[in-house]
Structure 1
Amino acid sequence: MSTPHIAAEPGDIAERILLPGDPLRAKFIAEHFLENAKQYTSIRNILGYTGTYKGVPVSVQGTGMGIPSISIYIHELIATYGVKKLFRVGTCGAMHKDVKLRDVLIAQAATTDSAILRNIFGPSINFAPIADYSLLERAVSNARRLSLPVKVGNIISVDRFYDEEIDNEKLTKYGILGVEMEAAALYTIAAQFHVQALAIFTASDHLLTGEGCTAEERQNTFCDMIRIALETAVET
């Protein structure tokens, strides 16, 4: 039953899953948020665990960085292991003046410069990758219940981390809140397979102010977005 990238057996992976890019963040989530967590894969040192949160089975799986990498894991998780609810929990670069360092952003939609959409739909269709509305609505409600401020809006998923050609000023003018590298693939593949997906981010650096968090902070903190994702996962 294992795939080329996930060494799990049937039943090892829950229908609800959190998807950090960093495998060590997956380990952190399993150790600090899940009960009785067991590791089910370590292929390529990309770690996956399943445990329970408030008695409900939940998995957490590292995905690596970028649309090509997360696309592999999402496809295998859905098509082979039957995952139904996927929550990306990762970092993003803040782009808007109203977003502060460590703010939590929920991606209502994911603009992208990736060719993934043209590869699927051709040049005449500009598909709009969007979040599952019920997950989005419940995540916002849970954030309010937990007194955790969030900002909801459009983000951009880019193919290049170091991109000197991208027009950040224009993107900000059109309301883009932050930049990351995976959500557009998550929303597109979720739509293909008719499953639910939501991307939640913590702003780890800021394109306008130059502020940034350390690598250790990125790996081991940013717990607010994890709590929101888990609370939403287990109630749906």
Structure 2
Amino acid sequence: MSTKNTPHINPKGVDIAETILLPGDPRRAKFIAENYLEDVVQFNEVRNMLGFTGTYKGTPVSVMGSGMGMPSIGIYAYELINFFEAKNVIRVGSIGALQKDIDLYEIIVGASASTDSNFLDQYNIPGTYAPTASWKLLKAFVDEAEKQQVKVHVGNVLSSDVFYNDDETVNGRWARMGVLGVEMESAALYAIAARAGVNALGVFTTSDNIITGAKATAEERETSFTQMMELALPLAAL
């Protein structure tokens, strides 16, 4: 039983598993815990950023909301890794596709994460750092997708600081570089994990296609991401 706490996470003695899933929305964390885990105990409610620990097929797994954007996931990922000793941190979220051949609800896996953020400046790297997923988690996720016969798109994603961009040409320019989709967190997660020497992966369900204009409704976003969870949760057994 852990007695640790931070300004943003207070488990009150509940253990946090070495493998943790980080959806942005704390309500989705609650959904995952209630529908996929057994023997669930809530470990966090600070700032209403809900976190839960349970078991998946007998293996301990935690799930916690991480909020939107790199500053938010940067706080939670750093504390989970450096204070609570998380070893496998998996972001499960939504993404806007930047390639025409990616349909709604298809899964994108971020092998790497480009960014327009200054988040990486803190590391004072003498060059351009490329935030990259853990090969261990990436390979395991793709292997699981092949096992379940689920189509996935693997490649570079964009972690952007800007949701409503005043420059309407931005997305097209990233798309021309082969970037699969845009989200707002993974570059920070990958950098924090790399600095600490642990594993991180970002996997996403396509909620809209920015190039074609296709969009899921808010209700569909709440209920259509189950396939992604079923591919991510087996990684806890690694």
Q: 1:38 to 1:221 in 2, by over 3 A?
A: farther
For residues 142 and 162 of structure 1, the distance between their equivalents in structure 2, rounded to whole angstroms, comes to 35
Map 1:1-236 onto structure 2 (within 5 A): 1-9=4-12, 12-121=15-124, 124-165=126-167, 167-234=170-237, 236=238
Gaps spanning 5+ residues in structure 1: where?
Answer: none
For residues 75 and 171 of structure 1, the distance between their equivalents in structure 2, rounded to whole angstroms, comes to 28
Once the 2 structures are TM-superposed, how far is the Cα of residue 11 of structure 1 from its aligned partner? 5.3
Give me the TM-score of the superposition, normalised by structure 1. Answer: 0.96
CA contact (8 A) 2:60 2:236 kept: no
- Larger mean CA deviation between 107-116 and 1-10 belongs to 1-10
Q: Which amino acid aligns with 2:144?
A: N
CA contact (8 A) 2:81 2:87 kept: yes
For residues 13 and 198 of structure 2, the distance between their equivalents in structure 1, rounded to whole angstroms, comes to 19
Once the 2 structures are TM-superposed, how far is the Cα of residue 232 of structure 1 from its aligned partner? 1.8
For residues 231 and 186 of structure 1, the distance between their equivalents in structure 2, rounded to whole angstroms, comes to 20
Gaps spanning 5+ residues in structure 2: where?
Answer: none
* Identical-pair percentage: 49
Backbone CA RMSD of aligned residues: 1.2
CA contact (8 A) 2:107 2:206 kept: yes
CA contact (8 A) 2:105 2:224 kept: no
CA contact (8 A) 1:10 1:81 kept: no
For residues 215 and 36 of structure 2, the distance between their equivalents in structure 1, rounded to whole angstroms, comes to 25
| 3-state SS of 2:117 partner | coil
CA contact (8 A) 2:100 2:209 kept: no
Once the 2 structures are TM-superposed, how far is the Cα of residue 10 of structure 1 from its aligned partner? 5.2
Give me the TM-score of the superposition, normalised by structure 2. Answer: 0.95
For residues 30 and 154 of structure 1, the distance between their equivalents in structure 2, rounded to whole angstroms, comes to 29
For residues 97 and 110 of structure 2, the distance between their equivalents in structure 1, rounded to whole angstroms, comes to 13
CA contact (8 A) 2:37 2:55 kept: yes
| 3-state SS of 1:77 partner | helix
For residues 181 and 74 of structure 1, the distance between their equivalents in structure 2, rounded to whole angstroms, comes to 14
Count of matched residue pairs? 234
For residues 199 and 182 of structure 2, the distance between their equivalents in structure 1, rounded to whole angstroms, comes to 22
For residues 75 and 229 of structure 1, the distance between their equivalents in structure 2, rounded to whole angstroms, comes to 21
CA contact (8 A) 1:23 1:63 kept: yes
CA contact (8 A) 2:21 2:92 kept: yes
